[in-house]
Structure 1
Amino acid sequence: MTTETGEGADTAEDTEEGVLTVDELAARAGVTVRTVRFYSTKGLLPPPVIGPRRVGRYGRGHLARLALIEELQRQGMTLAAIERYLRQLPPDLSPRDLALQRAVVASWAPDAVETVTREELEPRAGRPLDEAAVERLTAMGLVERDGDGFRVDPGLLRLGAELLDVPLSQESILAARNVLIEHARAAAHELSGLFRDAVAERDPQAVKSLSAHMQPLVVQALLTTFQRSLRDELREWLKEG
């Protein structure tokens, strides 16, 4: 955990040159400047890069960490619990790693889907979105039009918005999405069968308790296993090249 005066591994310099003022950071994150300063004084945010005229500049790492903090709060965690959670994370997490953490946290909620306006969509995504970007997110299933608004899963939207910068065609991204959905459903089916057999003789309350405790653990295990497996596959691919 860092403080306003400490050295943090997740500063704007590590993610992207400090390009946001505190007002711009707050607007992009959908919070107030007062909230940003409060989190900073609590050590929940690393210090900004001090630029010309002693103006603090923030980067994507700050934006991603703010989104994670807000998600943890939505899950009902106190500031003390959030501080403990953040302290346990590796100090060198990239903005994308923080977005993955947020997606994992959001998955704890039974139903995280929200309906937002067009104006609220950009703060949820953490970046400006033109109509082409909105259409692409809609095609990927990350945004669903609902009358004049949009239905979104905040935990996935910011992570999905990163795909807008990935140098892959939309067809390739959709194909990858289908692969992930297919294998995730297969894993969920096998795991639910395993858990069902383990609590077959127990009362319904025991089943609910098991589900509540196991869901975040299983999601984190799947995420970690996938990250390691993908890294190994990419290493083999690079060796062959």
Structure 2
Amino acid sequence: MTTDPSPDAEEPTLTVDELAARAGVTVRTVRFYGTRGLLPPPVIGPRRVGHYGREHLARLALIEELQHQGMTLAAIERYMQQLPAELSAHDLAIHRAVVASWAPDVVERVTREELRRRAGRALSDDDLERLAAMDVVRRDGDGYRVDLGLLRLGVALLDVPLSQEAILASRKVLIEHSRSAAHELSQLFRGEVAQRDGQDVKSLSAHMEPLVVQALLTTFQRSLKEELREWTSEVGGAS
């Protein structure tokens, strides 16, 4: 266990019970993952109490996504071992986004308690209304139909200091531009395989889809960083 966190890291503040509750797993699971090297050790604070932070939450979310993809524990261990040790919670979230992009569209009907468990937190009536507005959940009799591919993202957005209108407008922008990019890329690739047989087309699709998704995520991430850097520079210069 470590007692000296990186000066650039956010100070870990969660106990193992709080981490487990936030991640929607048991304390036993957290400790098991720790013994298998899937989670870094906690920071030991006063009274020898271990404290966890955003990186631990991000790793648990990534592990959960890998499980949803059907990976065995051994495969998950190999995947996690290949990741650079210094990855931040933000970097881990990007990895999870790439993994989640291959998940099939899955909509399940769940009870409110099951929805709370999968969300990893209590959900108020207002939270459910916001998730419904984001098209993440939909009331279905005495239960809910939930888009499992969007649930964690939707729950994370509940804590973002943006109005519901801004979130929905952002969603519209992302959908419109991603569909436009997907259409233009599809037209480009069709031109490349127009004279090839069906097997070549399937092979190109299988190879290009993961590469394109990774390229889009990386390009968008860098573009957004540049936009935010310019924005914060303007704000700082005006103050």
Instruction: Report the TM range for the smaller structure's normalisation.
Output: 0.7 to 0.9
| Distance in 2 between residues matched to 1:97 and 1:117, nearest whole Å | 33
The structure 2 residue matched to 1:100, chosen from 94, 104, 112, is 94
Partner of 1:19: 14
What residue identity is the alignment partner of 1:20? T
Q: CA deviation at 1:68?
A: 0.8
- Give the TM-score of the pair, scaled to structure 1: 0.82
What residue identity is the alignment partner of 2:167? I
| Distance in 1 between residues matched to 2:65 and 2:112, nearest whole Å | 20
**Cα 1:170–1:225, aligned 2, differ >3 Å: closer, same or farther?**
same
Partner of 2:214: 220
Q: CA deviation at 1:230?
A: 0.9
| Distance in 2 between residues matched to 1:140 and 1:38, nearest whole Å | 35
What residue identity is the alignment partner of 1:197? G
Count residues in correspondence.
235
* Higher RCO (CA-CA < 8 Å; seq separation 6+): 1
Gaps of 5+ in 2: none
Confirm whether residue 207 of structure 1 aligns to residue 201 of structure 2.
yes
Confirm whether residue 145 of structure 1 aligns to residue 139 of structure 2.
yes
What residue identity is the alignment partner of 2:154? G
| Distance in 2 between residues matched to 1:16 and 1:124, nearest whole Å | 26
Partner of 1:160: 154
Which structure's CA Rg is the greater one?
A: 2
**Cα 1:184–1:51, aligned 2, differ >3 Å: closer, same or farther?**
same
| Distance in 2 between residues matched to 1:97 and 1:148, nearest whole Å | 38
Please report the RMSD computed on the Cα atoms of aligned residues, expressed in angstroms. 2.9
Partner of 2:50: 56
Q: CA deviation at 1:7?
A: 7.8
The structure 1 residue matched to 2:24, chosen from 30, 44, 50, is 30
| Distance in 1 between residues matched to 2:144 and 2:217, nearest whole Å | 27
- Conserved? CA contact 2:138–2:145, under 8 Å: yes
What residue identity is the alignment partner of 1:184? S
- Conserved? CA contact 2:3–2:43, under 8 Å: no
Gaps of 5+ in 1: none
**Cα 1:203–1:27, aligned 2, differ >3 Å: closer, same or farther?**
farther
Q: CA deviation at 1:171?
A: 0.9
The answer to which of 172-181 and 60-69 deviates more is: 60-69
The structure 2 residue matched to 1:170, chosen from 155, 164, 175, is 164
